[in-house]
Structure 1
């Protein structure tokens, strides 16, 4: 029994440490995306900027077509500043988040009140790619109302 323990205990400890490490890495990636979305909800461009890779891309998916809507951090920040300057108040929430390697995916639900004072909502599948702890790419699938 002692030989069994001596042989397999190091592997069990290594597996446990790997599992803890992998969980921490997955949690960290999810936290980056959650922090980014929370900053969006607060219209905190500075916080959002700190989480963007310099070469960030926003990619819209429609059927079999991908369109790079925004390329580069400065272009993204300019677009956000223009959007935040409108009177539209919206809140975004990431639901059902999953982490797979450098990707965080889920369904992003957006809620807002339109100009007729009507509550609206839509959701879309979204995939965030992280590189060096920063958001490098965002793939946004068609919204469902």
Structure 2
């Protein structure tokens, strides 16, 4: 029996951009709840037989921008503040990071990252910024 996962099982739901409320997912010390796997299969319910998927013309092999080069170069530096505790889950040969916590560094601040807390945030402005930035990437 062949089972599909994620967007392969629900392409219409994926492209319609369903929103699922799951609380604060930006906080690295919060493990996503089970119902977040709505468009995917929870690891504990995944089949034991592997499914092979081949990607052709993937954006991962084509994507380049100065921002991407900067991010790749800065990953080592960005991990210096994660200095205390990382909870991992190894299940069916898949490693999942459940949460990250640091006693000396503040990894998450809701006031800095929430659009609900910040006053005067206009979503339309973000959409226009993304459109402008994507022009050069489409070339």
TM score, norm. by length of structure 2: 0.24
Name the one with the larger strand percent. Answer: 1
TM score, norm. by length of structure 1: 0.23
Question: Looking at CA atoms only, which structure, 1 or 2, has the larger radius of gyration?
Answer: 1
